[in-house]
Chain A
Amino acid sequence: MKFVKKNWKSRSTIVVGISLLVGILMIALEQTQFAIDINSAGWHHGGEGEGRPNIPGAVLFILPFVKALALIGVPLLVARLIVNIIGLFTRKR
């Protein structure tokens, strides 16, 4: 833990302080026309009020994790693929 603990108090204070500051600034975005438009048009999720889908509970539990892993994993693999293809052409020179 020595690497985590190195100056952790002052450093965490800086990180949290900056993040708090930037975070509070982000709240100002609700004043933009973009936000006003969305608020006046209204927004809600798809799928609400359609009742429970006919899928076993265990699958329903796993599915969000599968979704997250896919949304992280597919771009990861595509990026690796592109890097490898570029590598094929550049490494030979």
Chain B
Amino acid sequence: MKTSATTAKQSWQDNLQKTRFVMDTILLVSFLIVLAPQSTGIVLHEWLSLVFLIPFVIHILLHWHWFLSSFKQLMRAKTLRERYNFVLNYTLYLLMLFVLVSGFLVSVALFPALGIPLEIQDFWSKMHHDSATLIMPILGLHLALHFRWIKTLIVQMKKKAVS
């Protein structure tokens, strides 16, 4: 048993999995806010999308090792789950980029505020709408793949001690 003196000093920040859990929660909440421009208004939507880039990059930083070894791992992959995980993660990455790029290209507040002239094409409006719709179920599959981890971490976060 750990003494209370050692456990008191430890926080989620001392544990990689708990750090991931906290950052993932922030990522999910900020993503949900960005997904609802009808509620926030378009202007806020555009600025919040910029803020969203921070948890997004942090998510990649916290899985740096996965990305570094991903191609080597794919070559060695034995299970269907590993291959599926690879395809899903890179699909999600490219789709997220596409949502962001198309978002910038239909910007009505951000670019004008920065003084950048922009002629909005119907193509990019449709792409932003379609890709933002498509990324939601893909994210659902991403979360489904890590469902057991999420359940484990919810239990662990309730305990004070870092395991």
Binding site for B on A (CB under 8 A): 1-4, 6-8, 11-12, 15-16, 19, 22-23, 26-27, 29-30, 35-36, 38-39, 41-45, 60-65, 67-69, 71-77, 79-80, 83
Given A4-B19, A79-B144, A26 and B101 contact (CB-CB distance below 8 Å)? yes
- The 8 A CB mask of B97-121 against A (1 = contact, 0 = none) is 1101100010000000000000001
Flag if A73 contacts B98 (CB, 8 Å): no
Flag if B97 contacts A19 (CB, 8 Å): yes
Q: For residue B142, which residue of chain A has the nearest CB?
A: A76
Among B125, B133, B136, contact of A44 (Cβ-Cβ < 8 Å): B125
Interface-lining segment among B57-65, B69-77, B154-162: B57-65
Flag if B36 contacts A64 (CB, 8 Å): yes
Binding site for A on B (CB under 8 A): 13-14, 16, 19-20, 23, 32, 35-39, 57-58, 60-62, 64, 94, 97-98, 100-101, 105, 121-127, 129, 133, 136-141, 143-145, 147
B20 partner residues in chain A, CB cutoff 8 A: 3
Q: For residue B53, which residue of chain A has the nearest CB?
A: A16
Flag if B141 contacts A75 (CB, 8 Å): yes
Flag if A30 contacts B123 (CB, 8 Å): yes
Among B100, B125, B133, B143, contact of A71 (Cβ-Cβ < 8 Å): B133
Dominant secondary structure of chain A at its interface with chain B: helix
A43 partner residues in chain B, CB cutoff 8 A: 122-123, 125-126
Flag if A12 contacts B35 (CB, 8 Å): no
**Pair count A-B, CB < 8 A:** 111
B121 partner residues in chain A, CB cutoff 8 A: 30, 35, 39
| A14 CA / B93 CA spacing, docked (Å) | 14
B141 partner residues in chain A, CB cutoff 8 A: 75-76, 79
The 19 sampled A-B contact pairs (Cβ below 8 Å) are A1-B19, A3-B20, A12-B61, A15-B57, A23-B100, A35-B121, A39-B123, A42-B122, A44-B122, A45-B129, A64-B38, A64-B39, A67-B36, A68-B35, A72-B137, A72-B143, A74-B140, A75-B137, A75-B140
B140 partner residues in chain A, CB cutoff 8 A: 71-76, 79
Flag if A68 contacts B136 (CB, 8 Å): yes
